């Protein structure tokens, strides 16, 4: 990744983190830990996948499925950044009858699937990839799952299908922050060695630092004929909000006004360092 692009995306990610934390604060709650761990992945992905806010149903678009739908606030912040949804919708978040809820809904421009029932997004993504291949389309499907979510057995059925149908148009990304609502993933339901498991199910598997923009970009661009791809992105839950980093208690939590203000100060200093 060239230096100018990286700088632009790093700045954008800092702004998305601010917007996400503010959204949760004003909305009265949200899955802040997973929102902040996925931010860098999603910022790079939205920058390089094919999509058009002026034409959300563009036939040539790539598809993004947020299987870990509880971490919707970062998704909304990006959709707002790109012009899919307006500021009024953001301001209404958390209020009765608001368009933006705690999980993504297809009523929202840019959202491909209702998600949040964990374990379903990967199956949806595999189905979409199969349909696109049968139709001879070149669209690519990206799906982001949590790591705690992988305790759901439906994920593994989807993985078998991806290999069987040679879904080289499918990229499965795991937000591997090692924490879920009730603690460390390896204490709740162990999934290591995840790389070996993904490879055993037939995925070309890359393990990366989920906050390193060069590694993220290269992994998202990786393709091999007839082979689905898995990206295990090692991340920090609550990344950027110092009081929340690597804290399972911040899986779902509303920050205080002081914590929001501290994040803004930290992000402003970070942007200044980039200049």
Percentage of the chain surpassing pLDDT 90? 98
The rounded distance, in Å, linking the Cα atoms of 46 and 213 is 13
Residue 51 predicted with pLDDT over 90: yes
Q: Grade residue 105 by pLDDT with cuts at 50, 70 and 90.
A: very high
The domain locations on the chain are 3-274
The rounded distance, in Å, linking the Cα atoms of 27 and 101 is 10
In this prediction the pTM is: 0.97
Q: At CA 218, angle to CA 214 and CA 223, rounded to 5?
A: 175
Residue 142 predicted with pLDDT over 90: yes
pLDDT in tens, 75-88: 999 999 999 999 99
Q: Grade residue 134 by pLDDT with cuts at 50, 70 and 90.
A: very high
Averaged pLDDT for residues 32-43: 98
Taken as a whole, the chain contains a residue count of 275
* Residue 127: per-residue pLDDT: 98
Locate tokens 């799952």: which residue? 145
Locate tokens 């994920």: which residue? 155
* Residue 66: per-residue pLDDT: 98
Residue 40 predicted with pLDDT over 90: yes
Tell the CATH topology of 3-274: Rossmann fold (3.40.50)
Could you give phi then psi for residue 266, rounded to 5 degrees? -60, -40
The radius of gyration of the chain's CA atoms, rounded to the nearest angstrom, is 18
* Residue 38: per-residue pLDDT: 98
Structure-token pair, residue 65? 């499925």
* Residue 275: per-residue pLDDT: 84
Residue 220 predicted with pLDDT over 90: yes
For residue 229, give the nearest of 149, 174, 141, 170 by alpha carbon: 170
CA 189 to chain centre: 21
* Residue 116: per-residue pLDDT: 87
SS3 for 227-274 is ECEEEEEECCCCCCCCCCCCCHHHCCCCCCHHHHHHHHHHHHHHHHHH
* Residue 268: per-residue pLDDT: 96
């Amino acid at each position: 990744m060239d230096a100018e692009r990286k700088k632009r995306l790093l700045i954008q990610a800092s702004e998305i983190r601010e917007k996400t934390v503010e959204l949760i604060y004003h909305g009265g709650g949200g899955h802040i830990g997973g929102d902040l761990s996925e931010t860098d992945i999603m910022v790079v992905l939205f920058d390089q996948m094919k999509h058009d806010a002026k034409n959300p149903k563009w036939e040539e678009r790539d598809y993004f499925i947020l299987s870990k739908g509880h971490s919707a606030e970062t998704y909304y912040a990006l959709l707002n950044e790109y012009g899919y949804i307006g500021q009024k919708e953001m301001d209404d978040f958390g209020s009765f009858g608001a368009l933006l809820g705690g999980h993504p809904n297809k009523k929202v421009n840019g959202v491909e699937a209702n998600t949040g029932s964990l374990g379903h997004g990967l199956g949806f993504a595999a189905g979409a990839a199969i349909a696109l291949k049968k139709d001879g389309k070149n669209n690519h499907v990206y799906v982001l799952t949590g790591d705690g979510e992988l305790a759901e057995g439906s994920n593994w059925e989807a993985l078998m299908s991806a290999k069987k149908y040679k879904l080289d148009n499918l990229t499965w990304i795991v937000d591997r922050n090692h924490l879920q609502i009730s603690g460390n993933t390896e204490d709740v339901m162990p999934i290591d060695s995840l790389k070996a498991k993904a490879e055993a199910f037939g995925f070309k598997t890359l393990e990366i630092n989920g906050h390193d923009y060069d590694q993220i970009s290269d992994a998202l661009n990786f393709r091999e004929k007839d082979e689905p791809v898995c990206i295990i992105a090692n991340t920090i839950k609550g990344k950027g909000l110092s009081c929340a980093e690597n804290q399972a208690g911040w899986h779902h939590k509303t920050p205080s006004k002081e914590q929001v203000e501290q994040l803004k100060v930290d992000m402003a200093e970070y942007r200044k360092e980039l200049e």
